[in-house]
Chains A and B, each alone.
Chain A
Amino acid sequence: MKGALIADELRVSIDSDSDIVSARQKGRELAAQCGFPSTELAVVATAISELARNIVRYAVRGEIVLRLIDNHGGKRGVEVIAADDGPGIPDLTLAMQDGYSTSGSLGLGLPGVRRLMDEFDIVSEFGKGTTVTVRKWKR
């Protein structure tokens, strides 16, 4: 479900671990503006934290774009796009399995983020980069 942008988008460039914190704080603020309850604010912030950390860990630098969206039916939500031009993910099916990781981390990143959010989309080209788009709709 593609959403229409209903406010200015926010761009946070990610190239150090302090950017992870500012990206998730900005995402939380945006979701709060949209009227999400506090449980969902924590969910959105946690998902952003994981996506931003993947950028720092695997791609060194990239960007998180935060947008307030509308589904054309009056339903509002938050869209988070995490994009990098890092090495890309060689095997997406494998990367989406719980417990898989190439950097010795917990390996719960992507499947966990998918569980946290309502919609999850990933495009990755080996050698060119990865873009993850997630959305959370307000109930």
Chain B
Amino acid sequence: MQVPILKQGAYLIATVQSALTDEDLKQLRDALVGQVSKVRARGVIVDVTALDVIDSFATRTLRDVAHMIRLRGAETVIVGIQPEVAFSMVKLGLTLEGVATTLDLEEGLRYLQRSGKRKVQEHEGRPHR
């Protein structure tokens, strides 16, 4: 089951639509890391609202995606982790440390817009008092 990746402005949005096998997850990772460079995306959103299980492999792959994309100079946000999925992940001892997460797609876009602005400010330097 391939995950469609849409380009929206400076962002890539991958919307997971059904359960993913380990192989599907690896494909998604490789596709996202490849496409970020190809389309010069500034941010990536992975929408996992449809996932009813995020186990150790999925967690590790999502974390890898975020870290790889950061090394390419873009930001990743994982959006839509369901409450029962979050509960199971924590019980299992899984964290997405160092990875941005938001409630839903809308919040994810807002997060990327804000972090984009922050980057520009950092680049221009702080104004002198």
Which residues on A are within 8 Å of B, measured CB to CB? 17-18, 20-21, 24-25, 28, 38-39, 41-43, 45-46, 49-50, 53, 98, 105-106, 108-109, 111-113, 115-116
Q: Is the CB of B93 within 8 A of A21?
A: no
Q: Is the CB of B87 within 8 A of A108?
A: no
Main secondary structure on B side of the interface with A: helix
Given contacts A53-B56, A112-B92, contact A39 B84 (CB under 8 A): yes
Minimal beta-carbon separation of B22 from chain A (angstroms): 4
Given contacts A17-B22, A21-B19, A21-B21, contact A42 B53 (CB under 8 A): yes
Q: Is the CB of A115 within 8 A of B55?
A: no
Q: Which residues of A contact B21 (CB under 8 A)?
A: 17-18, 20-21
Within 8 A of A (CB), among B77-92: 82-85, 87-89, 91-92
Minimal beta-carbon separation of A18 from chain B (angstroms): 5
Could you name 20 residue pairs across A and B whose Cβ atoms are closer than 8 Å? A20-B22, A21-B19, A21-B21, A24-B53, A25-B19, A28-B52, A39-B83, A39-B87, A42-B52, A42-B84, A42-B87, A43-B91, A45-B53, A46-B55, A49-B53, A49-B55, A105-B56, A111-B93, A112-B92, A115-B92
Q: Which residues of A contact B54 (CB under 8 A)?
A: 46
Q: Is the CB of B92 within 8 A of A108?
A: yes
**Alpha-carbon distance A56/B82, docked complex (angstroms):** 27
Minimal beta-carbon separation of B96 from chain A (angstroms): 12
**Alpha-carbon distance A20/B89, docked complex (angstroms):** 17
The contact string, 1 if C-beta is below 8 Å from chain A, for chain B 43-59, is 00000000011111101
Tell me if B110 is interfacial: C-beta within 8 Å of chain A: no
Minimal beta-carbon separation of B85 from chain A (angstroms): 6
Q: Is the CB of A112 within 8 A of B53?
A: no
The 8 closest A-B pairs by CB, nearest first: A42-B84, A112-B92, A17-B22, A49-B55, A46-B88, A39-B84, A108-B93, A17-B21
Tell which of B19, B85, B92 has the most Cβ of chain A within 10 Å.
Answer: B92
Residue of A nearest to B84 (CB): A42
